[in-house]
Amino acid sequence: MPTSRILLWAGLAAAAGGAVLCALGWYGISGERFAERQLPYLASCTVPGAALIVAGAVLVATAYALAVRPPEPGRPEPAGPEPGTPPAPPSAEGPLLRVPGGTLAHRADCPLVAGKPEAVEVGGASLAPCPVCEPWPS
């Protein structure tokens, strides 16, 4: 199974850096006799080193857990709209809809009401147009 190389290498680097910090903290602590003189080594090296080891382990595990699927051969990548062009407004035939208690009229394919069973027809209610689907031409 392919893995995410960026996560894998980031995890290995974090774990290696954490191991180096832990080793430096241990070396600094081992030279001090009194606990109050060992505390700076704990705070500056050992605790951050342990945190980096844990973070590295999480990143490596995530790299192996996430399935990275290569693009399928022979299948073109989907082309999106040109950069800078506004998306085309949705269009749908059918009655305008509203949600109960709502103040906006929506087209049937508007993402704000699509798939909502509680959406009902506008009927004779006087509602403002939805800014997303723009049900009336300007």
User: Above pLDDT 70, what percent of the chain?
Assistant: 77
User: Above pLDDT 90, what percent of the chain?
Assistant: 19
Beta-bridge mates of residue 97: 106, 121
Say yes or no to pLDDT of 26 above 90.
no
The per-residue b/e assignment along 95-117, b for 16 or more CB within 10 angstroms, e otherwise, is ebbbeeebebbbbbebebbeeee
What is d(CA 2, CA 71) in angstroms, rounded to the nearest whole number?
A: 12
Say yes or no to pLDDT of 96 above 80.
yes
* In the chain, domain spans: 5-65, 91-138
**What pLDDT shows up at residue 15?**
95
Has this prediction a pTM greater than 0.75? Answer: no
The single residue listed with the structure tokens 């394919």 is: 109
